[in-house]
Copies of this chain bind each other. A is one copy, B any other.
Amino acid sequence: MQRYFINQIVDDKARITGEDFHHIVRVMRMKLEDYVCLVTPDEQTAIAELIEIGDDFVQFKIVSRKESTSELPVHITIASGLPKGDKLELITQKGTELGAKSFLSFPAKRSISKWDSKKAQKKVERLDKIAKEAAEQSHRSVVPSFQHVMSFQALLDVAPSYDYIVVAYEESAKEGESSALATLFDQVDPGESILAIFGPEGGLAPEEIVKLEAVQALKVGLGPRILRTETAPLYFLAAASFAFELDKNG
């Protein structure tokens, strides 16, 4: 069933305009009595029936509400040192499918890409759109947001607002470190937040690691193979899903 994120449900009715109106009427060519799945900002999910098609709006009537959630029980924010090319698009699309709560990018010392504030605004708009589409497709009840911070210091400034800060560190993998992530997942309780930080193609610089350790970031390895900058966040999210959603007795 097609899924739409809406602003509100009033008296068991929801009115949709704009891009989603266009999608429902022109792309999906829905007719009266067709059903969709609606998701409200407070993460409620409802099945609704199309009851009115206007010139620039459609109206739905709620027929049932769903109780189950498709959200990861822990809130994971993926922070990526600006990578090259369209890798942030892949991270955002796949990371949304895999349950990320939000995304963040920052200029790392070894980032080759540079974003001025104008470019950042345009990119963030595009990444927000990718997250919305992926959230609909993967049956999320939250659309992850994307934020770009303009300096490494700004990343350090927001970090303490998370319950846990981790940094994926290739050297940990090389040293054979193989339990920090599992130990962390054992400690984190449902509802808590994790900021997971990943370097750009050349990795994070040693001085960046030192600054992250100063704000209590935990270095974790992601197995013995060297993962690309866009693969590591997907590993992290899949491991979290396995640990928190499938291996509950582990």
Compute how far the CA of A94 lies from the CA of B97 in the bound complex, rounded to whole angstroms.
Answer: 16
Compute how far the CA of A225 lies from the CA of B144 in the bound complex, rounded to whole angstroms.
Answer: 14
Stretch of A19-27, A133-141, A154-162, A208-216 at the chain-chain interface:
A133-141
With A238-B238, A239-B238, A250-B182 known as contacts, the answer to whether A245 contacts B231 (CB < 8 A) is: no
B-chain residues with CB within 8 Å of residue A238 when the two chains form the complex: 234-235, 238-239, 242
Question: Is the CB of A29 closer than 8 A to any CB of chain B?
Answer: no
Compute how far the CA of A179 lies from the CA of B97 in the bound complex, rounded to whole angstroms.
Answer: 20
- Give residues of chain A (209-232) contacting chain B, Cβ–Cβ below 8 Å: 221-228, 231
Compute how far the CA of A241 lies from the CA of B227 in the bound complex, rounded to whole angstroms.
Answer: 12
Copies of this protein in the assembly total 2
B-chain residues with CB within 8 Å of residue A224 when the two chains form the complex: 68-71, 139, 245
B-chain residues with CB within 8 Å of residue A250 when the two chains form the complex: 182, 243, 247, 250
Contact yes or no, B223 A99, CB < 8 A = yes
Residue in B closest to A245 when the chains form the complex, CB atoms: B223
Compute how far the CA of A224 lies from the CA of B138 in the bound complex, rounded to whole angstroms.
Answer: 9
B-chain residues with CB within 8 Å of residue A245 when the two chains form the complex: 178, 223-224
Interchain residue pairs with CB less than 8 A apart (23): A68-B176, A69-B224, A70-B225, A97-B225, A97-B231, A98-B231, A98-B235, A99-B223, A137-B228, A178-B245, A181-B246, A182-B246, A221-B246, A223-B242, A223-B245, A223-B246, A225-B241, A234-B238, A239-B239, A239-B241, A239-B242, A242-B243, A243-B250
